[in-house]
Structure formats: structure tokens, C-alpha cells
Amino acid sequence: MNILILPGDGIGPEISKQLVKILKTCILYGYNINLIYNYIGGISIDKYNLPLIDNVLKICNESDSIILGCVGGYKWNNYPIKPEEGLLLLRKKLNFFANIRPIKCPFKNIDFLIIRELNGGIYYGKPKGISKQLINSIPTWYSYDTELYNEQEIIRLIKVGFNLSINRKKKITSIDKSNVLNSSKLWKKIVNYVSKQYNNIIVNHLYIDYATIELIKNFKNLDVVITNNIFGDIISDECSLLTGSLGMLPSVSLNNKSLCLFEPCHGSAPDIAGKNIANPIGMLLSLVMMLEYLFNNIYLSNKLFYSIYKVLSYGFCTFDMKKYINNFKLVNTDEFGDLVNYYFYYD
Ligand code: NAD
């Protein structure tokens, strides 16, 4: 298997290193894995003046799977081109339209999925820009973005949610703002239309404002949550509170071929980068998904999942988790990765 690793910026390299430890243990389990490293984000700007070059896109297309750390950082704040544009380009060019974010914590009996649309909406819609015009004869800055979706983009995302719910609790929660936005009115209409093609799946619609409360208060009622790009971005950060820390959430993005992009949900955490204190769990749980989806090995996937939670159950955690763990024993990123790898191999 050719696995491309794009560690990116900030804490990306530190957490990617922990994932690589486990992948190397998978080689001991008999897998033939070829790890390829390349650049995305700020580090790519430093090297090539671009956050993602064509050659990396080509290597992505030739790989069996892609693992991404995170992009962005203070250094590039005032650059004309931003590290985050590399990530948006990667998602768009490789057509990663569905982003699956499991919100799962065995300690608290939490288990639901957020399916976020990743290829459209306000992050890509045109026109967008910042300009100046005369308002009341005063030159005034104004800005605009466009929340743009077509029917096909919505249908393909919604179907991912419905198909996943078939083997779960058969409950869909669709989040929109259809009391105000046209794009959400179309979204809701299509959810109801698609639901007719699926028997016995219960559909519930929530407006995004109230959904932010329901997600925290009644998470036990949730199974599969489907939503657009921007709402999905925001609510998954919110839901990280349920599991303990933003560093805990993994994700996988799917395209219409078999290529998958695995990445944690958090950003590059520039405030803690380079200190070896970042929580690598979001990254390691992304590997849990890779072992299931790419390696097709449920045994190893479960083994890694329970190794991570075994380490936590013994009280070992990075600094961001300490208020959630009884009698915690603080460890750094490397030590946490080593502990997980130990239980993954020996237990
Ligand atoms: P962030 O997710 O990087 O950090 C928010 C807070 O959570 C910070 O205090 C950070 O230290 C903490 N945090 C995040 N991940 C952690 C981890 N694994 N362990 C411990 N603590 C962790 O969000 P931000 O501060 O809004 O953005 C920082 C940069 O990351 C920006 O440049 C932003 O554009 C970029 N970003 C990138 C991605 C991505 O690469 N997918 C996603 C979101 C933000």
C-alpha cells in the first residue's frame, strides 16, 4: 500500500509521527506499507511559494490513501496566499465531497457521526471578494461570499448519510437554516425527497441555532447528522467538547473513487506547536478508520481503538485532557504515542 503522509504545519508533524509508529507496527502484522512524505500548507509556501503544488496532487492520485496533519500558522497570517488554500484545493481537486466525523467516546456512551459536505457551499461559492465602493459618498469596504449548492452536490452528500445510517440506528438529523436561507430550503427539500428512497429511516430536521444546544444536551438521541460545509465545520468543533478535547476528533473524507483522506478535525494549534504536548488521539483515531476502510481489518481497527482508550483508562493523557481524567498522569505527545503502540502490539 502506498500511503502519502502530508504532515503540514504546527502540530501536524508531531501528531503524524505517532500515527507512523502504529503504521510501522502494522508492517510487523504483515502489511506491506510504503510511506511517502510530502508538503502542504505553510511549509509548501516556504518551499514552492504555493500551498499545494501540482506534483503533490499527482502523487495523491497515485496513492492508495492520504493522511493529512493540519495546516496554517501565525507565520503566514499576512501572506497573500494562505496555507489553508492548499487544503481547500486538495479537497476540491480530488473531489472529497463527504467528510465523516465520528463523535465517539466509550467512557460516556457517545456514538454518532457528523457527515459534513466538503466540496461546496460558502467556502467555494462565487462571487466572493472584498472591495471598496462609495456608500453615502464615503469610500467604504464591503465583503461578500456566496453559499452555493446545486441539487447533485446535495443529493450525493445526503445519500452518504442515509447509506451509513442503514447499519446504525436508522436515524438522520439534518441541520440547516431553512427558516432564512434559500440554500437551506433546497437542502431540506432534497433531504425529504431522498428519504422516500429509504425505508424505516427516521428523519429529523433542526435549525443550526437550536442544533448547537441539542448536540450537547441530547447527544444520546443522535445517530447520523448531515449538514453543509460551514455548519459541519462549526458543529464538529463544538462536539469535541463531548469527547473532552478538540484534539480527540478524527475524520475521513470520501470522493467518488476509492481514494480516502484521513485527518484529525482540529487545526494546526500554533499556540502549542513544537512543544511535544499536542494530543495525538484525533490523528490516531483517523488511523482506526483507515484500518477499517482501507485495510478492511476490523480486528486491527478495534485493537487500536481500545489501545487508545486503555491508555486513557490508566490515567495517561496529554495536558488538554487532564480535567476529564481521574488521577491523571500527564504524558507528552511522544509518550502517549509510545503507550498506544505498546498496547497495540503487545496486548
Ligand atoms: P485549532 O484547532 O488549531 O486550535 C484551537 C485550540 O485547540 C487551540 O488552543 C489549540 O491549542 C487546541 N488544540 C487543537 N488541536 C489540539 C490537539 N491536538 N491537542 C491539544 N490541543 C489542541 O484552531 P485555530 O486556533 O482556530 O486555528 C489555528 C490554525 O489552524 C489557523 O491557521 C487555522 O486556519 C488552521 N486550521 C486548520 C485546519 C486544518 O488543517 N484542517 C482546521 C482548522 C483550523
DSSP line for 42-79:
HHHHHHHSSSS-HHHHHHHHHSSEEEEEE---GGGTTS
SS in 3 state form for 89-102? HHHHHCCCCEEEEE
Confidence label for 314 from pLDDT (cuts 50, 70 and 90): very high
What tens digit of pLDDT does each residue of 127-147 get? 999 999 999 999 999 999 999
Per the domain annotation, does 126 fall within a domain? Answer: no
Residue 227 and residue 112 share a domain: yes
End of a domain among 248, 283, 306?
Answer: 248
Confidence label for 328 from pLDDT (cuts 50, 70 and 90): very high
Is 233 a known active-site residue?
yes
The answer on pLDDT for 197 being more than 90 is yes
Contacts of 234 (CB under 8 A, 6+ apart): none
Is 338 a known active-site residue?
no
Residue 243 and residue 105 share a domain: yes
Amino acid sitting at position 210? Y
Least confident of 13-22, 225-234, 323-332: 323-332
Å from CA of 72 to ligand 1 middle: 9
Q: Report the number of distinct structural domains present in the chain.
A: 2
Average pLDDT rounded to a whole number, residues 323-327? 88
Residue 135 DSSP one-character state: E
Average pLDDT rounded to a whole number, residues 186-209? 97
Å from CA of 11 to ligand 1 middle: 9
Atom number, ligand 1, closest to the C-alpha of residue 266: 2
Per the domain annotation, does 188 fall within a domain? Answer: yes
What tens digit of pLDDT does each residue of 30-57 get? 999 999 999 999 999 999 999 999 999 9
The CATH number of residue 157's host domain is: 3.40.50.2300
Residue 338 and residue 294 share a domain: yes
Percent above pLDDT 90 for the chain = 96
Terminal Cα-to-Cα distance of the chain (whole angstroms): 25
User: What is the pLDDT, as a whole number, of residue 326?
Assistant: 85
Distance CA 79, CA 277 (A): 28
Residue 207 and residue 330 share a domain: no
Is 54 a known active-site residue?
no
Residue 259 and residue 240 share a domain: no
Instruction: Return the residue matching grid coordinates 432564512.
Output: 180
Please pick, among 177, 188, 223, 320, the residue that the annotation labels catalytic. Answer: 177
Measured from CB, residues less than 6 Å from any atom of ligand 1 are 11, 70-73, 84, 87, 245-247, 266-272, 278-279, 282, 320
Confidence label for 258 from pLDDT (cuts 50, 70 and 90): confident
Percent above pLDDT 70 for the chain = 100
User: What is the pLDDT, as a whole number, of residue 133?
Assistant: 94
Residue 174 and residue 222 share a domain: yes
Task: Transcribe 238-297 into DSSP letters.
Answer: HHHHHHS-GGG-EEEEE-SSS-EEEEESS---TTTTTSS----HHHHHHHHHHHHHTS--
Distance CA 301, CA 259 (A): 18
The answer on pLDDT for 347 being more than 90 is no
Residue 191 and residue 56 share a domain: no
What tens digit of pLDDT does each residue of 100-129 get? 999 999 889 999 999 999 999 999 999 999
- 3-class secondary structure, 223: coil
Residue 284 and residue 320 share a domain: yes
The CATH number of residue 85's host domain is: 3.40.718.10
Give the dihedral sign, CA 50/15/103/73: negative
User: What is the pLDDT, as a whole number, of residue 152?
Assistant: 97
Distance CA 82, CA 73 (A): 9
End of a domain among 228, 248, 268?
Answer: 248
Residue span of the structural domain in which 345 resides: 1-96+255-347
Per the domain annotation, does 40 fall within a domain? Answer: yes
Mean pLDDT of the chain: 96
Distance CA 281, CA 293 (A): 18
Average pLDDT rounded to a whole number, residues 66-95? 97
